[in-house]
Amino acid sequence: MSFRFARLRRFRFNLPQRVAAVLLVLFLVQGLWLTAHQALSDRDYQYARCGREMWEKPSPLAGYFTTCGNIHDGILAYRLAGLPLTLNLLAEQGIDIFRKPENRVVQASGQLSTWELRHQLTHLLLLLRLPFLLAGCVLGGALWWVTRRLYGNWGGYTALALYCFSPPVLRACVVPNPEVLAALGIYGGLYTCIGVAHAMQGPRSKWRPRITLLTVIFGIAAAAHIVALPVVALLGLSAMLWVAEGRRTQVLPVVLLASAGALVLLFACYGFSPDAFSYLFRSAAGFLSVSFDPARRFFSTLGNAGITVAAAAALVLYLGIGKARYFGNTAPLLFALVLFALVTTGVPASPWLWALPFLLTFVAGVFADAYEGPRGRLAIAAAGAVVLLQAVFCVLSLPGLL
């Protein structure tokens, strides 16, 4: 018990944490503003209906996991979209004891449709989007934690500010889809791989919790999008081989163990249904190709002007300053380049969005080196101007402000 209290005492909510919290609150406010200016779409109804079926009852169609068919484009997104609606339904059923019989959700016959109760669900639009907004906040928190730990407070501020005022991230968080979940799984998985590789230099007692965490994060990546698992496993393996000097023979078993555990978690997401789970591997969901068109569109979009300027400046500094070319800056740059070049050909996905946290990590690392240089104040002022530019374009892109 004293150990638990000691862990709690280690947490501090000082100025750096408060700044990060304010930025994440601004991110959440923008997401709620976008949600308030949206209307329900057919895609929303599909995610809500099939997500609720996964939680509440099996599909009435023989041979299919849900009435949407056998899900192969990210089952975690469906489950997260349906979970708030299912919990809301359970709450409504609990309140039935205080209602008149004719107003109860569950009638005397006991029959209950999975979607005909939509007129009784309040704030349906918000309930569908809240899990994805929270996932976006978790990804922002992970980005803050990694960049602050690697590059200090100012590096963390830079990365998180650019993230919180990124229109593509905001749009991904206000529509039921697997993109932000896959980005969270890949970003968390790769830096957990690096953490495991560092831990492998120490006693084996410190390996187990980190490998367990790695397995869970790999499971999130796999359940978000099946392509994300081989991507994070291969990139994570290369990063671990880079870091784990003297332990390289043990890296491959660790990654294979985490990948196998992730597949078990993915099987659990399919309710341990062999047919639905096997269809995932019989579909074209895992097909990949190479193209830089998505990256070109991203960097040529006016709403991403601040991020584009920051990335270009960081690349120039990285190539021009020798001390900036170390593992902490090189690894996220390589990860970003690989992900920006990938496109999925089987099902729609946005690997360029998965690359964005790594790009911001690279920007934060190079800028942090500049902050500590002889012209640190000038570098901070220039970075502040870039962040302000990105914030202005992001806010102006919000509907209903102009």
Q: Three-class SS of residue 210? A: helix
Q: What is the pLDDT of residue 109?
A: 56
CA distance 25 to 305: 23
Asked if 279 contacts 328 with a C-beta cutoff of 8 angstroms, the reply is: no
Looking at every residue in the chain, the average pLDDT score rounds to: 87
Q: What is the pLDDT of residue 116?
A: 47
Q: Which residues of the chain have pLDDT under 70?
A: 1-11, 58-63, 102-122, 401-402
Tokens of 189: 């998985």
Cβ-based burial of 6 (10 A; exposed 0-12, middle 13-18, buried ≥19): exposed
pTM for the full model? 0.92
Distance between alpha carbon 87 and the CA centroid of its chain, in Å? 23
Model pLDDT for residues 328-342, shown as the tens digit of each residue: 999 999 999 999 999
Asked if 329 contacts 366 with a C-beta cutoff of 8 angstroms, the reply is: yes
3-state secondary structure 266-294: HHHHCCCCHHHHHHHHHCCCCCEEECCHH
Asked if 152 contacts 145 with a C-beta cutoff of 8 angstroms, the reply is: no
Q: What is the pLDDT of residue 202?
A: 82
Tokens of 45: 């109804």
Model pLDDT for residues 211-220, shown as the tens digit of each residue: 999 999 999 9
